[in-house]
Amino acid sequence: MRIVHDRERCQLHGQCTIAAPDIFRFDDGGELEVDPSPDETLRADAESAMDVCPERAITVVADDE
């Protein structure tokens, strides 16, 4: 699984950090850090983050796509 994060669309609401804290987190400077290739066991969290993003800045893609 891959995470595609559109940094231009993202408004740093942080809903993804609540839904999937093992994939999305804020660094000390307030920038969003994203694990672009999380373990497949985190798919449900990744999809939740995608669903709660108000800007639709997150896409979850299968490895073979």
Whether the Cβ atoms of residue 24 and residue 47 lie closer than 8 Å to each other:
no
Most distant CA atoms of the chain, gap in Å? 34
Question: What is the span of the domain harbouring residue 45?
Answer: 2-61
Instruction: Give, as one character, the DSSP assignment of residue 15.
Output: H
Query: How many domains, in total, are found in the chain?
Result: 1
Give the type of residue at 59.
T
The CATH number covering residue 45 comes to: 3.30.70.20
Average pLDDT over residues 34-54: 98
Q: Is the pLDDT of residue 64 over 80?
A: no
**pLDDT tens, 10-22?**
999 999 999 999 9
